[in-house]
Amino acid sequence: MTGLVGGIAVLLWVQLSHTPWRELGFVRPRSWVVTVAAGVTLGVALKFVMKAIVMPLLGADPVNHVYHYVAGNPPALAAMALTVIFGAGFGEETVFRGFLFERLGKLLGSGPAAKICIVLVTSALFATLHFFDQGRAGVEQAVFTGLVFGGVFAVTKQIWMPMIAHAAFDLTALAMIYWNVEPNVAHFVFK
């Protein structure tokens, strides 16, 4: 729940600092339908690519043992679903894409080189956060997801798609764990 606490802290900072919401990417998309559909598609596809191609190439265990207690466990699934939607999707994206992009943008500027630097720095910080509960594999996965979500945010300047993609990514991971199909997906490309 640290993601949720961080997200709430950022929202409080926005109010106290009188920072416009749009500076953190909280702007209305042209189409909510397109934004939600693209975010869900990106998140689900990214999870499958990570699980079936990237993580096996990095030598990751096909089973996420940290969260394997969710396998076949409906109460744990429900609790984790809420955690990933609000803690990861909302909280982590608000902190790592919204707040840090805004703060680092003030420091480094808004040119292409600055944006690349900001994506790299926020991805590294995001990945580091995942070491404490997920170890090396969590860091490796978070580097890639941080680069993707950060890249989307850098291009669109809107936080909704990364939020939705992050939640969809984590919910797809939970579904794989819950139905105990992680090894099947992990060995889909590389037997």
146-183 pLDDT, tens digit each? 999 999 999 999 999 999 999 999 999 999 999 999 99
pLDDT at 80: 95
Q: What is the dihedral of CA 74, 80, 81, 82, to 10 degrees?
A: 120
Q: Which residues contact 167 (CB under 8 A, 6 or more apart)?
A: 39, 43, 84, 85, 88, 89, 90
Write out pLDDT tens, residues 30-75: 999 999 999 999 999 999 999 999 999 999 999 999 999 999 999 9
Query: Does position 7 have pLDDT exceeding 80, yes or no?
Result: yes
Token pair of 36 as six digits:
């939600």
Name the residue among 117, 121, 126, 119 with its Cα closest to residue 166.
126
Write down the pTM of the prediction: 0.95
